[in-house]
């Protein structure tokens, strides 16, 4: 940029590169002042903890602190991979994510296509408003709703089952049901909101395509299937890649509200394992090792996802 | 659309079937709210014997009386307002200047600073080092800790930076002519021009603050400091009420279920009040910061 050479002294070319740099910084010092709080915040709250990851390789105690604790190499990782509960948590993480993807991924797409086919403006507006709402409700309340609906004694589901002559089902203590409950309530919470991305993509479809299809006698279903869907296919692909990249992130804040020891078998994921071992059990070093494993797997998957999207779609994620 | 009549019979059936399915979806989204609202104003007996399905039965506001007379409830409610309002202000005070600086072409090492921020989206130290760091900073059980430690997310910064970058250069040049530095450029030109983006970021912050419970639960020990969501978790999930509270359950027109329902209703109301405003903005936010960088 050629701005402001008038009232600020540009560094003469005879000066050393360092003083030239300092001159430039001095000329725009306000920009650096504006940047500083954010950079400091990132260092203090996100990068310093990355240094703290070293306790994954140390015999950490709060008394000795990070630097005073002695190195133990990969010992905590050996401990983890001999722990059946940790292996189970890895498996559960991917199983829950996988089922979540299979059942949860297509629904927002179908919703967007269906919303797009509503031509009654008020109906459409009201339907969308209601569909997005649960996204803004906290997981504590969603878990509260689930617990109160499924309660064996007073929940509406079991009261209905009872009235119909069926046996009561202890939904939340039976590991068989956990994943269905978790994934189902997540779909209830997020499917509507997730459809927004696809609706935005649909908005970019060229209307003349529909016009000419109509002239050719296409039905609305054919137009949806042959025009709308192919147009949003790149968006679908990108969203799929993002979701696969984020598979390690299963909403653990929600899981710890819903699970209990009797359902750990199917419900315990890596992050909930870290929470229990680290924050509840104070085994900071082992939990950090688990966290490091989790972060590395997540990083590799997100990185691979981005690489894929760069390769197969025109736009990369970042 | 006015050309609705032009559709063939099959298309009309398709249209109605579609509306029917959407209506079903909407109803199933809405039902839990309807049920909870109905249960909150019904008698405890009617709820636990399954008489409340859609409509309230034996209407009573006893559960609300009970909830609204609980001091801890009001304290946690006030705390949530405090964390939401001041937390959002702290976030904006850091994010707005920082994003502006990142959008400046004259920022030396701009690429590296951008990477420095974005990297935290792909890799973070995780729960335990984050917690131990806050412990070292003496921010456990501290209101200030809650406000500052969750101030920034890379997503919000990138969203705002992109918006700043898209502001036409002509605005800036005019201000520069008048001798404006970066402080006044940000304050007098960029912030007024970026209101929609700033409101979007503020709304993201507000929703995250209002709904967040996990770190508040981990970090705060004193009951005086806990936000609403932690209080909700204690009552609803852990069914943790003091004995005095529990003993009244036996002899009253409210029950544990109706109390829980009333608490849920009272804590959702503020969300419902800002929701229309939210909805106006988040479409924009998604489009600005969503899939593409």
pLDDT at position A221, please?
A: 86
pLDDT at position A276, please?
A: 94
Mean pLDDT of chain A: 87
- Hey, is the C-beta of B54 within 8 angstroms of any chain A C-beta? no
Q: What distance in Å separates the CA atoms of residue A132 and residue A124, rounded to the nearest whole number?
A: 12
- Which is it for strands A58-59 and A70-71: parallel, antiparallel or unpaired? antiparallel
Please, which pLDDT band fits residue A235 given cuts at 50, 70 and 90?
A: confident
> Among the listed ranges A105-119, B256-270, B278-292, which one has the minimum average pLDDT value?
B278-292
The interaxial angle of helices A121-132 and A106-116, nearest 10 deg, is 160
Q: Write out chain B residues lying below 8 Å of A203, CB-based.
A: none
Q: Write out chain B residues lying below 8 Å of A133, CB-based.
A: 29, 275
pLDDT per position as a tens digit, A258-314? 998 999 999 999 999 999 999 999 899 999 999 999 999 999 988 888 787 777 765
Instruction: Give B247→chain A minimum CA distance, Å.
Output: 19
Q: What distance in Å separates the CA atoms of residue A142 and residue A137, rounded to the nearest whole number?
A: 7
Residue B70: which residues within 8 A CB-CB, separation 6 or more?
A: B245
Mean pLDDT (whole number) for A64-69: 86
- Residues of chain A with pLDDT > 70, as a percent, come to 93
**Across the interface, which of A52, A154, A163 has its CB nearest the CB of B133?**
A52
Calculate the alpha carbon distances from B141 to B59, B125, B151 in Å.
41, 21, 17
Please, which pLDDT band fits residue B200 given cuts at 50, 70 and 90?
A: confident
Please, which pLDDT band fits residue A6 given cuts at 50, 70 and 90?
A: very low
Please, which pLDDT band fits residue B282 given cuts at 50, 70 and 90?
A: low
Asked if the Cβ–Cβ distance from A34 to B97 is below 8 Å, we say yes
**Across the interface, which of A4, A37, A127 has its CB nearest the CB of B97?**
A37
- Hey, is the C-beta of B270 within 8 angstroms of any chain A C-beta? no
User: Which residues in chain B (111-170) have CB-CB distances under 8 A to chain A?
Assistant: 113, 116-118, 120, 122-133, 137, 148-149, 151-152, 157
DSSP 8-state code for residue B59: -
Instruction: Classify the phi-psi angles of A269: left when phi > 0, otherwise alpha if psi is within -120 to 50, otherwise beta.
Output: beta
pLDDT(B249) > 70: no
pLDDT per position as a tens digit, A105-125? 999 999 999 998 888 888 988
Classify residue A21 as exposed, middle or buried by CB count within 10 Å of its CB (0-12, 13-18, 19+). Answer: middle
Asked if the Cβ–Cβ distance from B48 to A279 is below 8 Å, we say no
pLDDT(A10) > 80: no
Q: What distance in Å separates the CA atoms of residue B106 and residue A214, rounded to the nearest whole number?
A: 53
pLDDT(A317) > 80: no
Q: How many CB atoms lie within 10 A of CB A122?
A: 8
Classify residue B101 as exposed, middle or buried by CB count within 10 Å of its CB (0-12, 13-18, 19+). Answer: buried
Q: List residues bridging with A58 in a β-sheet.
A: A71
B3-41 core/surface letters (b: 16 or more CB in 10 A; e: else): eeeebeeebeebbeebbeebeebbeebeebbebbbbbbb
Q: What distance in Å separates the CA atoms of residue A69 and residue B195, rounded to the nearest whole number?
A: 50
Asked if the Cβ–Cβ distance from B97 to A115 is below 8 Å, we say no
Calculate the alpha carbon distances from A50 to A253, B36, B91, B127, B133 in Å.
22, 44, 22, 11, 10
Q: Write out chain A residues lying below 8 Å of B8, CB-based.
A: 219
Instruction: Give A168→chain B minimum CA distance, Å.
Output: 14
> Among the listed ranges A7-21, A288-302, B174-188, B213-227, which one has the minimum average pLDDT value?
A7-21
Mean pLDDT (whole number) for B187-200: 89
pLDDT(A46) > 60: yes
Q: Write out chain A residues lying below 8 Å of B137, CB-based.
A: 44
pLDDT(B1) > 50: no
Calculate the alpha carbon distances from A78 to A53, A259, A276, A278, B131 in Å.
17, 27, 19, 17, 24
pLDDT at position A314, please?
A: 57
CA-angle at B278, arms to B274 and B279, nearest 5°: 120
- Residues of chain B with pLDDT > 70, as a percent, come to 89
Please, which pLDDT band fits residue B242 given cuts at 50, 70 and 90?
A: low
Instruction: Give A287→chain B minimum CA distance, Å.
Output: 7
Asked if the Cβ–Cβ distance from B14 to A154 is below 8 Å, we say no
pLDDT at position B292, please?
A: 38
pLDDT per position as a tens digit, A139-192? 999 999 998 888 888 788 888 888 888 888 888 888 999 999 999 999 999 999
Mutate to test the interface with A, among B126, B146, B211 (most CBs of A within 10 A): B126
Q: What distance in Å separates the CA atoms of residue B219 and residue A191, rounded to the nearest whole number?
A: 31
Cα dihedral: A239, A242, A243, A244 (round 10): 120
How many C-alpha atoms does A3 have within 13 Å on its Cβ side? 20
Residue A155: which residues within 8 A CB-CB, separation 6 or more?
A: A148, A149
**A171 and A157 in contact (C-beta within 8 Å)?**
yes
Q: What distance in Å separates the CA atoms of residue B288 and residue B284, rounded to the nearest whole number?
A: 6
Calculate the alpha carbon distances from A75 to A29, A70, A81, A282, B159 in Å.
48, 12, 10, 17, 42
pLDDT at position B78, please?
A: 94
Note the ipTM here.
Answer: 0.88
Q: Write out chain B residues lying below 8 Å of A38, CB-based.
A: 94-95, 97-99, 101, 117, 152, 157
pLDDT per position as a tens digit, A252-261? 999 999 998 9
Q: Write out chain B residues lying below 8 Å of A241, CB-based.
A: none
Residue A272: which residues within 8 A CB-CB, separation 6 or more?
A: A89, A252, A255, A256, A259
Q: How many CB atoms lie within 10 A of CB A146?
A: 24
Q: What distance in Å separates the CA atoms of residue A184 and residue A6, rounded to the nearest whole number?
A: 64
pLDDT at position A65, please?
A: 85
Which residue in chain A is spatially nearest to B292 when comparing CA positions? A317
Mean pLDDT (whole number) for B49-78: 86
Q: Which two tokens stand for residue B92?
A: 């904006």
Instruction: Give B285→chain A minimum CA distance, Å.
Output: 11
> Among the listed ranges A6-15, A125-134, B205-214, which one has the minimum average pLDDT value?
A6-15
pLDDT at position A11, please?
A: 45
Asked if the Cβ–Cβ distance from A239 to B291 is below 8 Å, we say yes
Cα B25 to chain center, whole Å? 23
Residue A72: which residues within 8 A CB-CB, separation 6 or more?
A: A57, A58, A59, A285
pLDDT(B289) > 60: no
Q: Which residue has the higher pLDDT, A31 or A238?
A: A31
- Hey, is the C-beta of B105 within 8 angstroms of any chain A C-beta? yes
Mutate to test the interface with B, among A22, A29, A37, A45 (most CBs of B within 10 A): A45
Q: What distance in Å separates the CA atoms of residue B285 and residue B281, rounded to the nearest whole number?
A: 6
Mean pLDDT (whole number) for B248-275: 82
**Across the interface, which of B21, B124, B207 has its CB nearest the CB of A46?**
B124
Calculate the alpha carbon distances from B232 to A74, A287, B206 in Å.
41, 28, 18
Mutate to test the interface with A, among B1, B44, B121, B128 (most CBs of A within 10 A): B128
pLDDT at position A7, please?
A: 43
pLDDT at position A8, please?
A: 45
Q: Write out chain B residues lying below 8 Å of A134, CB-based.
A: 29
Instruction: Give B143→chain A minimum CA distance, Å.
Output: 16
pLDDT(B222) > 60: yes
pLDDT(A1) > 50: no
- Alpha helices by DSSP H, listed for B140-255, are 143-149, 154-165, 169-177, 182-185, 191-193, 195-211, 214-219, 228-232, 243-248
pLDDT per position as a tens digit, A73-112? 899 999 999 999 999 999 999 999 999 999 999 999 999 9
pLDDT at position B43, please?
A: 84
Q: Write out chain B residues lying below 8 Å of A137, CB-based.
A: 211, 268, 271
Report pTM: 0.87
pLDDT(B11) > 70: yes
Instruction: Classify the phi-psi angles of B109: left when phi > 0, otherwise alpha if psi is within -120 to 50, otherwise beta.
Output: left
Q: Which residue has the higher pLDDT, B90 or B250?
A: B90
Mean pLDDT (whole number) for B98-121: 92
Q: What distance in Å separates the CA atoms of residue B43 and residue B255, rounded to the nearest whole number?
A: 8
Which residue in chain A is spatially nearest to B158 when comparing CA positions? A318
Q: What distance in Å separates the CA atoms of residue B204 and residue B196, rounded to the nearest whole number?
A: 12
**Across the interface, which of B186, B283, B287 has its CB nearest the CB of A34?**
B186
- Residue A255: which of A80, A83, A89, A82 has the closest Cα? A89
Which H helix or E strand runs over A71?
A: strand A70-71
Q: What distance in Å separates the CA atoms of residue A194 and residue A236, rounded to the nearest whole number?
A: 11
pLDDT at position A308, please?
A: 79
């Amino acid at each position: 940029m050629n701005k402001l050479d008038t009232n600020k002294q540009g560094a003469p070319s005879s000066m050393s590169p360092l003083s030239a740099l300092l001159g430039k910084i001095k000329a725009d010092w306000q920009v650096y002042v504006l940047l500083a709080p954010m950079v400091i915040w990132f260092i203090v709250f996100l990068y310093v903890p990355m240094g703290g990851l070293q306790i994954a390789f140390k015999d950490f105690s709060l008394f000795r602190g990070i630097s005073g604790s002695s190195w133990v190499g990969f010992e905590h990782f050996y401990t983890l991979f001999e722990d059946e509960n940790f292996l189970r948590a890895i498996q559960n993480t991917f199983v829950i994510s996988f089922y979540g993807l299979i059942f949860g991924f297509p629904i927002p797409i179908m919703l967007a296509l269906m919303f797009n086919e509503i031509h009654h403006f008020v109906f459409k507006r009201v339907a969308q408003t209601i569909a997005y709402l649960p996204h803004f409700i906290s997981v504590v309340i969603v878990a509260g709703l689930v617990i109160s609906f499924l309660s064996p004694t007073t929940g509406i589901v079991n009261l209905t089952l009872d009235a119909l002559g069926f046996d009561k089902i202890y939904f939340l203590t039976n590991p068989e049901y956990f994943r269905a409950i978790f994934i189902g309530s997540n779909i209830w919470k997020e499917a509507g909101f997730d459809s927004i991305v696809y609706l935005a993509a649909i908005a970019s479809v060229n209307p003349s395509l529909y016009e000419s299809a109509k002239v050719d006698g296409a039905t609305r279903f054919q137009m949806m299937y042959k025009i709308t869907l192919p147009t949003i296919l790149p968006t679908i692909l990108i969203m799929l890649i993002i979701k696969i990249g984020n598979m390690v992130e299963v909403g653990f804040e929600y899981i710890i509200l819903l699970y209990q020891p009797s359902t750990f078998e199917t419900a315990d994921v890596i992050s909930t394992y870290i929470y229990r071992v680290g924050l509840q059990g104070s085994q900071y070093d082992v939990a950090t090792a688990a966290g490091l494993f989790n972060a590395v797997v997540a990083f590799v998957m997100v990185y691979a996802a981005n690489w894929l999207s760069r390769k197969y779609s025109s736009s990369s994620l970042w | 659309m006015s050309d609705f009549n032009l559709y063939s019979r099959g298309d009309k059936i398709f249209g109605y079937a579609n509306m029917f399915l959407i209506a079903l979806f909407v109803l199933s989204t809405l039902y839990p709210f309807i049920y909870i609202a109905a249960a909150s104003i019904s008698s405890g007996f009617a709820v636990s014997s399954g008489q409340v399905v859609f409509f309230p039965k034996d209407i009573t506001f006893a559960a609300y009386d009970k909830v609204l007379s609980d001091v801890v409830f009001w304290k946690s409610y006030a705390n949530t307002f405090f964390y939401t309002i001041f937390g959002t202000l702290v976030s904006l005070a850091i994010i707005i200047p920082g994003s502006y600086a990142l959008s400046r072409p004259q920022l030396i090492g701009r690429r590296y600073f951008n990477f420095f921020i974005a990297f935290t989206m792909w890799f973070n130290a995780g729960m335990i080092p984050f917690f131990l760091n806050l412990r070292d900073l003496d921010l456990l059980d501290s209101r200030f800790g809650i406000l500052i430690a969750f101030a920034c997310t890379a997503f919000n910064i990138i969203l705002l930076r992109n918006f700043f970058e898209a502001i036409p250069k002509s605005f800036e040049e005019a201000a520069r002519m008048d001798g404006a530095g970066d402080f006044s450029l940000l304050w007098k030109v960029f912030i007024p021009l970026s209101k929609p983006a700033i409101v979007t970021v503020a709304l993201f912050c507000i929703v995250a603050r209002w709904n967040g419970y996990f770190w508040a639960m981990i970090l705060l020990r004193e009951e005086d400091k806990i936000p609403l969501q932690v209080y909700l978790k204690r009552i609803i999930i852990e069914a943790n009420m003091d004995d005095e509270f529990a003993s009244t359950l036996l002899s009253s027109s409210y029950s544990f279920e109706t109390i829980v329902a009333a608490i849920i209703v009272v804590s959702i109301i503020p969300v419902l009040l800002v929701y229309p405003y939210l909805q106006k903005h988040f479409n924009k936010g998604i489009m600005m910061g969503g899939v593409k960088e």
